[in-house]
Chain A
Amino acid sequence: MKILIKNGRLVDPATGRDTPGDVAIAAGRVVALGAVNPDFHPSRTIDASGLVVAPGLVDLAARLREPGHEHEGMLESEMAAAVAGGVTSLVCPPDTDPPLDEPGLVEMLKFRARNLNQAHLYPLGTLTRGLAGEVLTEMAELVEAGCVGFSQAEVPIADTQVLQRALQYASTYGYTVWLRPQDAHLGKGVAASGALATRLGLSGVPVVAETIALHTIFELMRVTGARVHLCRLSSAAGIELVRRAKAEGLPVTCDVSVNQLHLIDMDIGYFNAAMRLTPPLRQQRDRDAIRAALADGTVDALVSDHTPVDEDAKNLPFAEAEPGSTGLELLLSLALKWGEESGAGLSKALATVTCAPVQVLGNALGSLASSAGRLVEGGVADLCLFDPTARWTVEPRAFRSQGKHSPFAGFELPGRVHATLVAGQVAFESK
């Protein structure tokens, strides 16, 4: 199928391109950018007047809930949510039930995702079997099955020797280990330690739960040479440690979620369970540091941390409510909101959800590594067409995701997706 996108504003954050023009697509690839040869005869023409034509978004943290949590999300519903949000590639953490610790599970997931013809799916395998923190998984087999890295999801490894060996083993083959830095014992609370948690009588997660884990990870990186991607940092002190590790030259990258970028613990208000999130929302100074670090590159990528949670699991007292929020359909708008508020601008905001996360993935993307998250002639035609001037109000009941809980309910956000193309096919189009 040949598609011509006409009169768009082509924005490629990887090159800084921001020019009016057309995009010609054939056989799943971008064949011409800017001026399109008049002898290109499309079977379909999309008028992109007033729209930005950008690379499809790449989300480094989206839970699809399959297998095991189908009551909270199905591959169909969550992949539909992804493309509705302009997301064309996503990385899913391995904390499904059973966890992604066997090649067969990963192959099945990849196969089912491929048949849906929606976003590209890049699973993370578990670092240890059953996420139990004891026995290493068959990493080479899992990579062959399609895993792009290894992770403990939300289950920190308590035994530091196991963590050291996992990093040693992964680094033997050049695999990236994805860790959310959190001490196994200090991280058991339900809200960030601080005035709000004290006032509401909620058990706290202190900042040292993050910084102690970071110190441990960095020390082990120094002795093992492993490459680590740090997931969803939450604190100013944690950001500062990452900044120093990068300056030292450690092979480390990191991301933050849209929640930590925009919200703080005060937003919990009167025990609003939509704000029950991991990592917990911290204070103003932490959010300020996170926003600054995303601008200066200390933080590489912005993620949705999409975690659909069903009604029964959220309608509970705050501490008992399941952590998580629906985010795929908000990622673009929340990136743009940050771009507007911080002065970073549209292109920089898009970079945090396109070319920057692709750099984190690096070689793990295989043949897509050179063109995913970018607008390149000859590259894969993963595109997001959106109206940058549109404002809309978040109404969780209208989400395509099965999860209907968002801490951003009622927020007015910039940027509305009009169409999403994955490998040259229209995967989503707003009515």
Chain B
Amino acid sequence: MLQQRNPQLNSNGELIHLLSIEGLPSAVIHQILDTAGTFLSVNDREVKKVPLLRGKSVFNLFFENSTRTRTTFEIAAKRLSADVVNLDIARSSAAKGESLLDTIANLSAMHADMFVVRHSESGAPYLIAKHCAPHVHVVNAGDGRHAHPTQGLLDMYTIRHYKQDFTNLTVAIVGDIVHSRVARSDIHALTTLGVPEIRAVGPKTLVPGDLNEMGVRVCHDMAEGIRGADVIIMLRLQNERMSGAMLPSAGEFFKNYGLTPEKLALAKPDCIVMHPGPINRGVEIDSAVADGRQSVILPQVTFGIAVRMAVMSTIAGNNA
């Protein structure tokens, strides 16, 4: 086996792309979270802009539709004073049969400085990072089931904000873990930051036993999974899981794994409830919980913009 260098780091070990949280040192994660903290105040100012990316062009390349994530990246880039171009590739080039790398070559010719990429296939941002010009930075905004590193980082920001210390926490991630890039990024971040107990909770079709190789405790029983938890991260349940024989119905899933006030009472009294959104009320989470006092779902969104500003300004400051 020939060893390859982690493609998101340059030869000095600095972050030039953000492709995955896996392999990032905890110091780098904390540094991004610290930087995000300084940007939070920018969001409260009347003029919500800093000039860190002035004159730079950020291209949002969404090969898979997502209004929400794309919007938060757009806001983050604009608050850093970048020029932002949104490309909804799912409906244009790819539909016309243009290959991924041809699309990238064309956009590079328009002097892009940063690509924010979402793609339905795991690993697509790696392919782009490998083939784009050395000065271009790539941010993974979600690839297949593999990674959603900015979501993972904003989740860590949220946990650090409410809990300060990671090293005494029990974190439960509930729902469709096997198909979730958010879960994978959260698990890598939580293990790197020293969380002693990470539980993956759901039925065997969505939480297979070999997930324990990622350093989590697999629980198929909801009560066992969330008992004594400090943090519960609920995942969105995709409708197509029913047709793929993963689940019989949304109703049965909610009965067994939906987060209701009664189940939440099993967690610690100060447990926070997170969700990457968009939420399915009555499928994975009860409205009383989603809107309740322990829910931090909306602060997550606010923190998300600051974290994405931190990521973009960090990688733009490092050269290949």
A contacts, CB < 8 Å to B:
193-195, 198-202, 263-264, 266-267, 269-273, 312, 315-320, 410-411
Contacts and interface: CB of A to CB of B under 8 A. Distances in A.
A319 B126 contact: no
Contacts of B145: 201-202
B210 interface: yes
Contact of B123 (A198, A200, A410): A200
B90 to A, nearest CB: 14
B184 A199 contact: yes
A263 B2 CA distance: 11
A202 B122 contact: yes
B124 interface: yes
A200 B213 contact: no
Nearest to B208: A198
Given A195-B210, A199-B22, A318 B2 contact: no
Contacts of A318: 121-123
B144 A319 contact: yes
A392 to B, nearest CB: 15
Contact of B213 (A195, A269, A315, A316): A195
B121 A198 contact: no
B2 A411 contact: yes
A198 B144 contact: no
A316 B122 contact: no
Contacts of B121: 317-320
A184 to B, nearest CB: 16
B213 A266 contact: no
| Most interface-central of B100, B121, B124, B131 (chain A CB within 10 A) | B121
Given A194-B210, A201-B184, A317-B123, A270 B101 contact: no
Contact of A198 (B99, B101, B126, B210): B210
A271 B123 contact: yes
B146 interface: yes
Contacts of A200: 122-123, 146
Given A267-B1, A269-B4, A410-B2, A317 B124 contact: yes
Contacts of B127: 271, 273, 315-317
A115 B4 CA distance: 44
A50 B146 CA distance: 51
A194 B212 CA distance: 11
A207 B118 CA distance: 31
A301 B121 CA distance: 36
Nearest to A262: B1
Given A271-B126, A317-B123, A319-B123, 6 more contacts: A201-B122, A269-B4, A270-B126, A273-B127, A315-B99, A320-B121
A201 B4 contact: no
B100 A316 contact: yes
A17 to B, nearest CB: 36
B2 A319 contact: no
30 contacts: A194-B213, A195-B210, A195-B213, A198-B208, A198-B210, A198-B214, A199-B22, A199-B184, A199-B213, A200-B122, A200-B146, A201-B143, A201-B147, A201-B184, A202-B122, A202-B123, A202-B146, A267-B1, A270-B7, A270-B123, A271-B126, A272-B4, A312-B99, A315-B101, A315-B127, A318-B123, A319-B121, A319-B122, A320-B121, A411-B2
B126 A193 contact: no
| Most interface-central of A200, A264, A315, A318 (chain B CB within 10 A) | A200
Interface in B174-206: 178, 181, 184
Contacts of B143: 201, 317
A287 to B, nearest CB: 11
A317 B100 CA distance: 9
Nearest to B8: A270
Given A201-B144, A201-B145, A271 B211 contact: no
Contacts of B86: none
Contacts of B99: 312, 315-316
Leading 5 A-B pairs by shortest Cβ distance = A271-B123, A201-B145, A201-B146, A317-B121, A195-B213
B47 to A, nearest CB: 40
B119 interface: yes
A196 to B, nearest CB: 9
A193 B210 contact: yes
A325 B178 CA distance: 29
